[in-house]
Amino acid sequence: MPLTTTKQLFAKALKGKYAIGAFNVNNMELVQAIAEACEEEKSPLILQISKGARQYANPVYLKKLIEAAVSLTNIPIAVHLDHGDSFELCKDCIDEGFTSVMIDASHEPFEKNVEICRKVVEYAHKHDCVVEGELGKLVGAQFDAGEAGGAHSAKGVYTDPDDAVRFVKESGVDSLAVAIGNSHGAYKFKGSQKLDLDRLRAIKKALMDAGLGDYPLVLHGASSVPSEIVAEINKYGGKIIDAAGVPEEDIAEARRNGVVKVNIDTDLRLALTSGIRKVFAEKPQEFDPRKYLGPARQKVKELVKHKVHDVLGCAGHAFD
Ligand code: G3H
Ligand code: 13P
Ligand code: ZN
């Protein structure tokens, strides 16, 4: 099956009220684990590649790994640039055959964000590529004192529903990443762990009321940082203290309210690390990489199967 576009995947996901996992990949074991898990669960899949992944693995290696996943599985797979930070990077990825790119100019003022996104949209749409933009700032919102669910904080800014409408109309992006209390990494919350789901519903409604239809929304920073995986890492010599992720119920509720793409990277990193640490701790004499990367890959596969089946609801939807 050839690479698919996220536009096709999103239309079906919106109808079925499920979300598609956008899993970050940096190496062969991650690609294999994710692709095999989604194949077994008959789930559509978005493999996403960050600028850092391209620097780490080399774009050609990643492209070939994804080609291998596409040819060895029978599920729809889209390949997406995660957090593209310039027109040039987006253009490179579009020219290499990515079916979707994110242009992340969310740190810029509104008008500048629109302008950068428009430029990417113009080029991408000529090449059948889908564009994700972002409005709001994810960083550290929940860490600022007195800002539980507030619209603004010292570092983070939640997405405003009316601004979201203006942004989508003016930029022409095909999907929108929102800031509703989500953030990247393993330390997302201090105190209560929750997304501002009322804000998500308000964004969705504003887009609908403005004539933009059942508009696809994206949730970054959607790792749930499973406590049992963190405990296993720490049991085998790790030191991950006060980690906290997004509750899986909140992710499930988000996808029932228009979120069609759920970005997961940290949970994959944690699963892989727990597998490696376990072998290193239990078999310190082991030095064959296959003996620790193999079990670690299996942990990632189990995690992805759980996500698509129990959280995202996309298992069984490969052939909608
Ligand atoms: O949101 C960022 C992703 O987790 C990718 O992280 O830039 O370290 O590859 P990275
Ligand atoms: P996590 O750090 O929660 O996995 O988020 C990943 C992400 O948003 C990639 O763009
Ligand atoms: Zn992200």
> Hey, what domains does the chain have and what are their CATH numbers?
6-228+242-266 (3.20.20.70)
Q: In sequence order, what are the beta bridge partners of 20? A: 261
What's the rounded Cα separation, in Å, for the pair 303 and 280?
20
Ranges of beta strands (E only) in the chain are 20-24, 45-50, 77-84, 100-103, 130-135, 175-178, 217-219, 259-264
Atom number of ligand 1 nearest to Cα 26: 9
50 Cα: distance to centroid of ligand 1 (angstroms): 6
Atom number of ligand 1 nearest to Cα 184: 1
Active-site residue flag, 82:
yes
206: which 2 tokens? Answer: 């504003």
What's the rounded Cα separation, in Å, for the pair 257 and 216?
10
pLDDT > 80? residue 231:
yes
286: which 2 tokens? Answer: 């082991």
**How confident is the model over 52-75, as a mean pLDDT?**
97
pLDDT at residue 149, as a whole number: 43
Helix (H) or strand (E) holding 159: none
pLDDT band at 188 (very low <50, low <70, confident <90, very high): confident
pLDDT > 70? residue 147:
no
- To test the pocket of ligand 2, the residue of 26, 184, 246 to mutate (highest count of ligand atoms within 8 Å of its CB) is 184
74 Cα: distance to centroid of ligand 3 (angstroms): 27
Name the percent of the chain lying above pLDDT 70.
94
| HSE, side-chain direction, 13 A CA sphere, residue 246 | 30
**How confident is the model over 283-308, as a mean pLDDT?**
98
Ranges 61-70, 124-133, 154-163, 268-277: which has the least confidence? 154-163
Q: In sequence order, what are the beta bridge partners of 132? A: 102, 175
pLDDT at residue 189, as a whole number: 83
Atom number of ligand 2 nearest to Cα 24: 9
pTM: 0.96
Pairs from 108-114 (Cβ < 8 Å, separation ≥ 24): 110/135, 110/163, 110/166, 110/167, 113/167, 113/171, 114/167, 114/170, 114/171
pLDDT at residue 126, as a whole number: 98
Strand 45-50 relative to strand 217-219, pairing: unpaired
Q: Please tell me if the CB atom of residue 185 comes closer than 6 angstroms to any atom of ligand 2.
A: yes
Is the Cα torsion angle 58, 69, 251, 175 positive or negative in sign?
A: positive
Q: Please tell me if the CB atom of residue 264 comes closer than 6 angstroms to any atom of ligand 2.
A: yes
* Cβ neighbours for 21, distance < 8 A, ≥ 6 positions apart: 38, 43, 45, 46, 262, 264, 304, 307, 308, 312, 314
pLDDT band at 261 (very low <50, low <70, confident <90, very high): very high
DSSP-based three-state secondary structure for 6? helix
Nearest ligand to the CA of 52 is 1
210 Cα: distance to centroid of ligand 1 (angstroms): 33
pLDDT at residue 142, as a whole number: 45
Q: What residues line ligand 1, using a CB cutoff of 6 Å?
A: 24, 50, 52-53, 82-83, 184, 265
* Cβ neighbours for 31, distance < 8 A, ≥ 6 positions apart: 25, 47, 65, 66, 68, 69
Name the closest-CA residue to atom 8, ligand 1: 52
What's the rounded Cα separation, in Å, for the pair 152 and 140?
11
Ranges 137-151, 232-246, 253-267: which has the least confidence? 137-151
124: which 2 tokens? Answer: 């991408």
Q: Please tell me if the CB atom of residue 132 comes closer than 6 angstroms to any atom of ligand 2.
A: no
Atom number of ligand 1 nearest to Cα 266: 4
Q: Per-residue pLDDT tens for 276-295?
A: 999 999 999 999 999 999 99
Q: Please tell me if the CB atom of residue 160 comes closer than 6 angstroms to any atom of ligand 2.
A: no
93 Cα: distance to centroid of ligand 3 (angstroms): 17
pLDDT > 60? residue 95:
yes
- For 141, 194, 243, 304, the CA distances from 184, given in Å and listed in that order, are 11, 14, 12, 18
**How confident is the model over 54-77, as a mean pLDDT?**
98
**How confident is the model over 215-238, as a mean pLDDT?**
97
pLDDT at residue 152, as a whole number: 45
Closest CA to 44 of 67, 82, 11, 68: 11
pLDDT at residue 242, as a whole number: 87
What's the rounded Cα separation, in Å, for the pair 189 and 53?
26
**Residue tagged active-site, from 82, 160, 250, 267:** 82
pLDDT > 80? residue 301:
yes
